[in-house]
Amino acid sequence: MPSTAYDEVPYEDYPVTETHVDGLYLAARRAGLAAARPERARVLELGCAHGVNLMPMAFHLPEASLVGVDLSLQQIERGRERVRALGLDNLELRQADVLDLHLGSRRFDYVIAHGLYSWVPEPVRARVLALFRETLDAGGVAFLSYNAMPAWGIRGAIARALLEAVDLERPPIEQVRQARAALRTLEAVQPLRGTAEGSLLRGEIEALRHKPDSYLLHEYLVPDNRAFYLREVVARARGAGLGWVGDVAPSSLSPAETRAARGELQALGLDPLSTEQLVDIVGFRQFRASLLCRDDAERGEPTPWAELLREGFVAALPSEGRDDDPPALAELLAALGERWPELASPAELAAALGRDEAELLAPLEILVEDQRVQLRPRRLPACRAGERPRAAVLSRFEAAHLPFVTTPMHEHAPVDAFHAALIGHLDGQHTRAELVELLIGDIAAGNLRLAAESMPPVDELRPALARTVEAALQRLGLAGLMVG
């Protein structure tokens, strides 16, 4: 099989929080769909690269069944090696062209296509939607991300300029070299200096200078790349036998700002889709992740937040409190912040505060809608660092092979050499003092380098390293990487 640009310059992909089945389940329930529970979900990802988005789901949901498909054989083989090393029997990675992919009678509760739809030829886009319709179960949900208008218009113009300046017949690395030279020229040639348009263009070009080669190649040097208005995607989905459920990708507007804009625009008396399209325009949206379902899916009444809260678990970072919060919200946020990263059911939270559970549901609903409190349909293993700190097997594996580790919340946390070495020792068998000795051994063996040119005497190193280890454990705990 011929190599692809993704083989020669692999995309630096990470777990995508919004694709996790926990969030998709809640969004589907809110829309009135009878979604499958995450614990035993059947998941398909189109364009999975080397599987870094699916592996954490497979690890933390051992009874779920997951399939990833990608065109690049090299990336699939790399992913398969990691799947075998982690013993993830519930994750299958297969090489296939989406155009030729047929899964027979297999059905899935969740189908994910992230970073695919905007970057492929039109026949592939049509096939992606057709696969959604073919493979979704009756209550299933598909996740489709794409570059959105109007904000991607300025980026699309830069992409067009680079395509004019780059020879796409050249090897990928040479294309990137030509693109960077073109960016330097575009940055210097600024006839619109001092205007609003010139500021927008200059800002985008400056940001691109700091992006990795893989991003520049796969995001901007793709002839088929295009952005869509929401209405276009919804119309295409309807033509493929799919219905629009909602959207889950964050935008430049806060949840409160989005609600306010939507409320003011509703004065025009438009349908919900038109209103949502106008919110994109006034909010200058540049990326979307739309949820779709089969057009014959049964939709009941939206599930109230109160019901989902009673069934689920909540958590909040210690930093989520604000000076102007009403007492009811401040009390909840303070209580959750003290527990972070552990989750609590509303009943547990009420018991800790000496309150009735029903009293907490309304303020919790406000905080969840404003995304200041996380709502999860299941309890996660995250906790503070204990006497013998432990990170998940997955985290220890990622620290050894990747530049990041994935939290149980499906967020990625970059790690440097020191944190990677420390995480590798967090198997729950060592005290803090023993961790210090293990790291001293790593330094002595040359596996971990100090900032200093030479290693100081161990008696001098040990106290400073103990303080560094304690601070690192605190950071890892706040990131949600310690497990019980």
pLDDT tens-digit profile of 411-466? 999 999 999 999 999 999 999 999 999 999 999 888 888 766 666 777 788 999 99
User: 96 with 182, same domain?
Assistant: no
Do 443 and 400 lie in one domain? The reply is yes
Q: What is the mean pLDDT of residues 12-34?
A: 94
Say whether both 248 and 352 belong to one domain: no
Report yes or no on 313 lying in a domain: no
Min mean pLDDT across 214-218, 378-382, 407-411 is at 214-218
Q: For 233-266, what is each residue's pLDDT tens digit?
A: 999 999 999 999 999 988 888 999 999 999 999 9
Contact in structure between 439 and 422 (CB atoms under 8 Å) = yes
Question: What's the pLDDT at 3?
Answer: 52
pLDDT confidence tier of residue 207, bands split at 50, 70 and 90:
confident
Q: Establish if 386 belongs to a structural domain.
A: no
Residue after which a domain boundary falls, among 220, 242, 269: 220
310, part of any domain: no
Residue 299 covered by a domain: no
What is residue 209's predicted lDDT score, i.e. its pLDDT? Answer: 84
Whole-structure pTM value:
0.91
216 and 276 housed in the same domain: no
Same domain? 245 vs 258: yes
In a domain, 286, yes or no: yes
Q: Position of tokens 């989750």?
A: 343
Predicted local confidence at residue 425, as pLDDT: 97
- Burial grade of 86 (CB within 10 A; 0-12, 13-18, 19 or more): middle
- 2 has pLDDT over 60: no
Confidence of residue 320 (pLDDT cuts 50, 70, 90): confident
Residue 339 has pLDDT above 50, yes or no: yes
pLDDT at residue 11, rounded to an integer? 64
Is the pLDDT reported for residue 407 higher than 70? yes
In this structure, the answer to whether residues 286 and 197 fall within a common structural domain is no
CATH code of 290's domain: 3.40.50.150
The β-bridge partners of 77 are none
Tens of pLDDT, residue by residue over 60-97, are 999 999 999 999 999 999 999 999 999 999 999 999 99
Across the chain, mean pLDDT equals 92
Whole-angstrom distance between the N-terminal and C-terminal Cα of the chain?
45
Nearest to 480 by CA among 403, 376, 382, 379: 382
As a whole number of angstroms, the distance between CA 157 and CA 168 comes to 17
- Which domain range does residue 369 map to? 320-376
Total domains in the chain come to: 4
pLDDT exceeds cutoff 80 at 192: no
Please tell me whether residues 35 and 77 are part of one structural domain.
yes
**What confidence tens digit (pLDDT) does each residue in 282-310 have?**
999 999 999 999 999 999 999 999 999 99
Residues 142, 203: one domain?
no
Say how far apart CA 372 and CA 26 lie, in whole Å: 16
Last residue of a domain, one of 161, 192, 220: 220
In this structure, the answer to whether residues 178 and 76 fall within a common structural domain is no
201 in the same domain as 326: no
Q: Look at residue 274 and tell me if it is in a domain.
A: yes
Q: Does the pLDDT at position 358 exceed 60? A: yes
Specify if 483 maps to a domain: no
Last residue of a domain, one of 376, 403, 424: 376
* Of 114-128, 315-329, 410-424, minimum mean pLDDT range: 315-329
Q: Based on the fold, state whether residues 213 and 250 are members of the same structural domain.
A: no
Question: Is residue 1 scored above 50 in pLDDT?
Answer: no
Assigned domain for 27 exists = yes
Per residue in 201-225, is it b (16+ CB within 10 Å) or e — as a string?
Answer: beeebeebeeeebbebbbbbbbeeb
Is 60 exceeded by the pLDDT of residue 109? yes
Residue 174 and residue 187 share a domain: yes
What confidence score (pLDDT) does residue 187 get?
A: 84
